[in-house]
A = this chain, B = another copy of it.
Amino acid sequence: MNTSAEDVRASAVRARQAAGQLAPLSRAAKDAALLGMAAALLDRSAEILAANALDTAAARAAGTSAALVDRLTLTPERIEAMADGLRQVAALEDPVGEVVRGRVLPNGLELRQVRVPLGVIGIIYEARPNVTVDAAGLCIKSGNAVLLRGSASALNSNRVLVDVLREAAVAAGLPADGVQLVPGADHDSVKHLMRLRGLVDVLIPRGGAGLIRAVVEESTVPVIETGVGNCHVYVDVDADVDTALAITLNAKTQKVSVCNSAETLLVHAGIAAEFLPRVLTALRDAGVTVHGDETVRAVDPSAVPVTDEDWATEYLSLDMAVGVVDSLDQALDHIRRWSSGHTEAIVTRSLAASRRFVASCDSAAVMVNASTRFTDGERFGMGAEIGISTQKLHARGPMGLPELTSTTWVGIGDGHLV
């Protein structure tokens, strides 16, 4: 039977009530709950592992790929890592109550802009059960209620995890309904969730491009797009070749399954003769399949011919599209056309080229002589992140705790009239 709109709405109404109770909580109360949740995950790890074993067995029986089963799998170490994540979130500053701006107006009205929780945050995500715990931790710390809609394939795991988190929340005096699994794991449950504008303040889809596009298209609840990363490395005519080589390899191969890994390499024609043979050999040695344009294939005939689809693709694999451009402008045109707006990197010794690249890339992050892999909340020193926004409204780039808040203007007077 399909999930009913009423069930999803009822869940959101309970979340809204819980949000009202969470918003005024002190940091101490929220941190105590997070630490309690961390302890409870460890206490009940046998139960969590048993539920997870059901999910992984079903996934294997359904012929799911080994990579996906791995994402789904929990181990004692992974449970310890989730607990540790909650402890780290507890150690972060509370964003709620921070005064963003403030002044006394000429008429004496005291005015300040203060961070407040968003309210109810919906997260739609795929197989990884650790997202359940990470997202709940960040939302609770920022005073929000969270509605979690994980993958059907992780349902047994998520049910136990959410049960553990809710029990620990209640033990610490927080409302149970601050953390909820959205009823149902069919498509209808997502569909109903996306229509709850007014009850749900924001939806954050985490996962593949298809999931994100579907949510963006259909949701009336405001959406923050995350994570699709078709990232570029541009090697300028003035690049240091060794630096360019190291950054290209790091950006492509250090970890391939992540959104901040590079998918396309663009090389200035003026440095191609020197750089291309070295980088193509190094990529091949690292096991990378190169999809190259004509110049690239003239240097390395084993490269696959590159297509428009390659330029558009976030491989998330040991593949890389490689092309030669005649100028910085042509590189920028290419990036503007094909980029998903996540992270682009330039390798150059020219200050002018770096300034023009930074000013002209329309992406969440731009790196100069640094790997695209740096775009990450923890590496930026923001603590844990709930995702990397590739849209321009509200938050762009890694989203930590402040990005899970809104603001209110507070004016205090003594009978001030207009």
On A, residues with C-beta under 8 Å from B are 20, 23-24, 103, 105, 109, 111, 113, 116, 118-119, 197, 201-202, 216-217, 220, 222-224, 240, 242-243, 246-247, 250, 254, 336, 354, 358-371, 373-375, 379-381, 391-394, 396-398, 406-418
Contact = CB atoms under 8 A, between A and B. Distances in A.
For the residues of A in contact with B, the DSSP-based class is mixed
A413 B197 CA distance: 43
A414 B408 CA distance: 41
Given A222-B222, A254-B417, A368-B413, 17 more contacts: A20-B336, A20-B360, A24-B360, A119-B362, A201-B393, A224-B393, A247-B415, A254-B418, A354-B412, A365-B408, A366-B410, A366-B411, A369-B413, A373-B418, A374-B411, A379-B418, A397-B407
Contacts of A364: 408-409
A410 B358 contact: yes
A118 to B, nearest CB: 5
Contact of A394 (B359, B393, B398, B413): B393
Given A109-B374, A374-B109, A415-B246, A365 B118 contact: no
A204 B205 CA distance: 23
B201 A365 contact: no
A371 B417 contact: yes
Contacts of A365: 408-411
A418 to B, nearest CB: 4
Nearest to A389: B406
Contacts of A381: 103, 105, 111
B354 A393 contact: no
Nearest to A332: B20
A218 to B, nearest CB: 9
A216 B358 CA distance: 33
A406 B394 CA distance: 8
How many protomers of this protein does the assembly include? Answer: 2
Contacts of A391: 222
A23 B360 CA distance: 8
Contacts of A103: 381
B363 A408 contact: yes
A411 B413 CA distance: 43
- 3 closest A-B pairs by beta carbon, nearest first, are A370-B413, A392-B406, A373-B418
Contact of A415 (B243, B414, B417): B243
7 contacts: A201-B392, A242-B415, A369-B414, A370-B412, A374-B411, A393-B394, A397-B409
Contact of A359 (B23, B201, B358, B367): B23
Given A381-B103, A397-B407, A416 B371 contact: yes
Nearest to A260: B418
Contacts of A23: 359-360, 362
A416 B201 contact: no
A39 to B, nearest CB: 30
Contact of A393 (B202, B380, B397, B411): B202
Contact of A392 (B119, B250, B354): B119
A395 to B, nearest CB: 8
Contact of A370 (B109, B369, B392, B408): B109
Contacts of A359: 23-24
A362 to B, nearest CB: 7
Contacts of A412: 354, 367-370
A262 to B, nearest CB: 11
Nearest to A376: B418
